[in-house]
Amino acid sequence: MGKLDGRVVIVTGAARGQGEQEARLFAAEGARVVVADVLDDQGEAVAKEIGETAGAGGGAAVHVHLDVSKEADWAAAVAAAKAAFGKIDGLVNNAGILRFNELVSTPLDEFQRIVQVNQVGAFLGIKTVAPEIAAAGGGSIVNTASYTGLTGMAYVGAYAATKHAIVGLTRVAALELAAQGIRVNAVCPGAIDTAMSNPAQLDPDAELAQSGEALDRFYRKLVPLGRVGRPEEVARLALFLTAEEDSAYITGQPFVIDGGWLAGVSVL
């Protein structure tokens, strides 16, 4: 028996990184997963691999194209999910983008693009999918916020602003949707080894590869547990918050997964 047997969950940004690991883990726990992403080739490949490895009694997956900043794309994704699996029980609002820039040098269009994907995307996901989850009898929404949604960090002002907003949105949604049997929580990852934080994963160029190594050394010193986090670790937290048997009495909460980074600064 899997923890998500019979559940249908949409995972956004599921073509790679945290979203991919969440989709794979959820399917391994018996869910039927909608792999939603703008990266169609990669998303289709992930969905195909999940289907091939699900095995008897396991989950299944389909890919849908989804630009989370577009309301029409959300409506189409919900329609595709229901056509494939008949209902929707859960949502992981994982899709997001990150840009490094000091505030006074950030172009308005860059700031607005980050808001559209990270903040508006999460809002549209809740608005579009929550009624479907309610119609299915209740379920869970997990929003991906960030360590920077609970503190500040230089050079990621637009990103941090959206992640603070997601924490607030999570709390409001939890209050408004509780009566419909929908729990809403947020995961707040710190430094996680994905393409977003480590571009060396996407480009074998020597300079980028060196910057990836430097990033690892940096976090090794900064994070109390001495390493960068792994996307599958974030996926396990998202599973905990999605599985009714594990987190039935938890809603409206941000869960930090950062190796102790937010705890403070060590002098040793």
Alpha-carbon gap, residue 159 to 225, rounded angstroms: 24
Burial of 145: CB neighbours in 10 Å, binned 0-12, 13-18, 19+: buried
What residues are annotated to the active site? 159
DSSP string, 126-141: HHHHHHHHHHTT-EEE
Give residues with Cβ within 8 angstroms of 165, minimum separation 6: 119
d(CA 223, CA 15): 27
SS3 144: strand
Rounded to 5°, angle at Cα 93 from 89 and 98: 170
Q: Give the Cβ contact number of residue 165 at 10 Å.
A: 18
